Structures are given as structure tokens and as C-alpha cells.
Amino acid sequence: MTSEYIPFISSKKDKKRFDQLFSDSVCARIRLNLESEITKLSEDNIPLWIDSTFDGFSFFQDTKKSGGFEDYLTEREKYDKKGGAFEPRRNDFIDLMAKIDSQRDKEIKSADLFCNNEFRQKPNQTKVNIYVSRLLDYCYQYEPECISVPQIPVSEGTELNKINNSLVKASIAWRDNSHFNGQLILPLIFTKRAHMKGKVEWRPKVDKAIQHCRNLNLQGMWVVNTDIEDWKGSTAQTKAFSSLVEMHQYIREHLPENVKKIAGPYWGLNLVLWSRNLIDYPAMNLGTSHKYYLPGSLSKSGNTRMPLIPLRRLAVVSAELREWLASTIKKLDESDENRKIFSELEKKFDFFLSRSENAQYEIAKFQKQWFKSIQSKKRESRAITLFQDLSEAYALGSRLEDLPADEKPGKKPGAIAEHLMLQCLS
């Protein structure tokens, strides 16, 4: 049975976990810079959604010099030496864009266009068309079923509207003049929790995206907020959770039925949205971070985390957590199935501690099992099934001692389950 999730492959390690666990997915979304992995997936006949990583331009702006990223990086280096704020330097995103720049029409450099605030405000459609054609042709060589429309993540104002509109027009022009018979997926990427304050903040962005999908016959819309961290248990984020759900209700009501609706990756909110039939496909990371990181950004390695499966949450692998597990196991009845699960996790503790990849595999395996347990139910029963599942996790957590200090602000064992549970039926 094909699973309705869409794994997001952002690294070679992700590709390995995909092969181990997720080859039954409806498709795999993979970044264009992972060309060797794309080739392997194609050889295995995995349906592909290729993302050009264009949203990485969110980190690069306000340069007017020609010469592409080389001059841009030189400018940023001078700025940093004067005590300026952090700016990303050379990475896979820049290397990929430099490769795209070298394909043809070499006088048109991506940095000159999309790192330039003047050009963003007054885009030259001909130049945008040339660049987008070059970029999407590069994606198309791998014969994917889906390709992301190039877009810069939305801002709180309207300053990116013109360049994003221009990019959509260029993508449609490319589709109409190419042999691509697949699907174009429109990204709508919010980068601040403030975008989720309420309808006033998100509706103008959503309405514009819906308008593009309706008027230009786009086949899919993918929505994510990179600032939502639903695995942390912070009560400060719960209002944003409710607003996110409301936004997806609005999208479901106003977006044509035949347009694919995709959301995430998150830890559990993607599952909530999917179980409520507000989206068609939940996006999933593969055991690593549980949010979406923009290409070109530096995701901190952080602490190794492991799944506390009965609680539907994660926790930092530490000596304090080992003690917490031992104490919890003693308190639970021997007949309690949760005791057995916690005991199995305790046995694997050194295995997780020895290599973060071991813990990441365990997280990814649990995510798949969790999803499959809900997918096995009838569509109309999935939301109540997930609610009951999270309610049991919350009830269990309410009987247990607080987790170690590493879990602040979500030290209460049932905190994550509680916050997700409240979004299931509201």
C-alpha cells in the first residue's frame, strides 16, 4: 500500500533512511544539489519531486554589483570583517546556483537578479524568463513528476510580491514551451511565527497563492512555516498552531479540489492537518530536524534526540534521561505495554548515544509507524483516532515525573501530546 506522506530528502543521510524505510511513499521530494542521489532514485523508479532550492535566495539580498556570487561573497566578507551580523558563505546552495549560471546565457547571473533589491522591486520579465528556463531545464533533465516553482519565502510586507509573481509567470512560460508533462508545485514558505498571529497576517499571502493556482493551472501547493517548532512543548507557540490549522482550513475551502495540498515538515502538526483532511500529503523529514530549513542556512547539529514513543515526543539523549527512564520503568506496572516500550528504549540507550544516526533512524522508524497506524483507519475516522492516540500519551505523561532540564520549556512529559491533541478536533 502506497503511503500518503512525502519524505523530504535534504542530505545523503536522508537518502539512506529513505531507502531503509520510506520507499513506499507517494513520491520523494529531493533538493537539486543532491544530483547523485537523484540519479539513484530515478534508477529505482521512485516518483520524484525536484526542488531547485531557489528559496535559499531568502538569505541573499541588497547587492548591486555584477559578477554573481563571487562579488557578492566578497562584499559580505568585507562587511563581516567590520563587525557585521552573520551572513552565509559558500555552501551547496551557492555552488548549485553557480553551476546553473554556467549553463547558458552566461551574462545573466542569478546573484545580479535575485540578490539585488532593486531588481526584486522592478524585475525584468525577459531576464527572469531566461533564468527560470535555465533552472527548470536543469531540473527536467531527471524527468521528475513534480518540480517546485521558484519562489522567495514571503515577507511580512509586499516587497517580494513583484519578483515572486514574475517567477510564477516565468515558470508557466517554461511549462508551456517545454515538453514537461508533470506537475508544478507552488511553495508558500513563511519564515516567522508572527505570520501566524491571525488571518490578517496570512490571508493576503494565501489568497495570492490560491489565485496563482486557479488562474495558471498549477497542480500543487506546498505550505510551511519554518519558525514553528511543535516538538518543543512551548505554550507560547500554541496560538500559532491554531492559526496554522485555521489557515489550512481556509486553503482547503478555497483551493480547487484537484490541486494537491501539502504541508510541513513538522513533528506532529503535519499529521494533525492530514488526519483532519485539510491536506492531501504531509511532508516529513527523515529523523533529523522537525522543521523546514531553507537551503543555504546552517542548521545547528544540536543534541542527539531519541523518541519517547509512548509519549509521542522526543527527548535529548543524556545521563539525566537515562535516570528518568529507569525511574519511569520502575513506576509502571509490569503488565503495562508502555513499560515494555520504555524498557526497549533503555536497552538501546548506548546505541543512540554512540551515534546520532542510530537515534535518527529510530525516530524515522517511529514516525512511519505512527503515520501508518492512523492511515490504516477510514479517512473519516483518522482525526478522532489521532486525538485518542495523543490523549493516551497525554494521560500517561500526566502520571510521570518531569523530564530533565534539557526539555525546557516542555519538561512536562505530556506537553507535546497535549498541544497536538487540542488541534485534532477544534
pLDDT digits (tens, 9 = 90+) for 84-94: 544 444 578 88
Average of per-residue pLDDT across 268-290: 95
Give the confidence band of 111 by pLDDT, cuts at 50, 70, 90: confident
Query: Do the domain assignments include residue 90?
Result: no
Average of per-residue pLDDT across 393-405: 97
The per-residue pLDDT for range 412-423, each reduced to its tens digit, is: 999 999 999 999
Average of per-residue pLDDT across 97-114: 82
User: For residues 32 and 355, what is the distance between their CA atoms, to the nearest angstrom?
Assistant: 28
Please enumerate in sequence order all residues whose Cβ is within 8 A of that of 339, keeping only pairs 6 or more positions apart, or say none. Answer: 329, 332, 333
Give ∠ CA 64-212-51 in degrees, rounded to 5.
65
pLDDT for 88: 46
Query: Do the domain assignments include residue 353?
Result: yes
More confident residue, 85 or 110: 110
Q: Is 60 exceeded by the pLDDT of residue 179?
A: yes
- Contact between 355 and 301 (Cβ < 8 Å): no
Residue in this structure with the C-alpha cell 500529503, named with its chain if needed? 281
pLDDT for 166: 98
pLDDT for 67: 45
pLDDT for 90: 52
Query: Do the domain assignments include residue 155?
Result: no
The per-residue pLDDT for range 333-386, each reduced to its tens digit, is: 999 999 999 999 999 999 999 999 999 999 999 999 999 999 999 999 999 999
pLDDT for 75: 55
User: For residues 61 and 189, what is the distance between their CA atoms, to the nearest angstrom?
Assistant: 17
Query: Do the domain assignments include residue 26?
Result: no
Helix then strand then coil, % of the chain, to nearest 5 = 50, 10, 35
Query: Do the domain assignments include residue 326?
Result: yes
User: For residues 35 and 179, what is the distance between their CA atoms, to the nearest angstrom?
Assistant: 21
Count how many domains the chain has. 1
In the chain, pLDDT over 70 holds for what percent of residues? 91
pLDDT for 108: 84
User: Can you tell me whether residue 315 is helix, strand or coil?
Assistant: strand
Q: Is 80 exceeded by the pLDDT of residue 296?
A: no
Query: Do the domain assignments include residue 198?
Result: no
User: For residues 54 and 93, what is the distance between their CA atoms, to the nearest angstrom?
Assistant: 8
DSSP 104: S
DSSP 25: B
Give the confidence band of 425 by pLDDT, cuts at 50, 70, 90: confident
**Cell for 6?**
512525502
User: For residues 218 and 185, what is the distance between their CA atoms, to the nearest angstrom?
Assistant: 7
Q: Which has the minimum average pLDDT: 105-114, 127-136, 386-395?
A: 105-114
Q: Is 60 exceeded by the pLDDT of residue 68?
A: no
Query: Do the domain assignments include residue 395?
Result: yes
Average of per-residue pLDDT across 287-292: 87
Average pLDDT, the chain: 90
Average of per-residue pLDDT across 249-259: 97
Average of per-residue pLDDT across 142-163: 93
pLDDT for 101: 85
pLDDT for 226: 95
pLDDT for 63: 45
pLDDT for 289: 81
Q: Is 70 exceeded by the pLDDT of residue 247?
A: yes
Query: Do the domain assignments include residue 394?
Result: yes
The per-residue pLDDT for range 126-135, each reduced to its tens digit, is: 999 999 999 9
**Cell for 257?**
479540489
Q: Which has the minimum average pLDDT: 298-302, 304-308, 344-348?
A: 298-302
Residue 338 is part of which domain span? 305-421
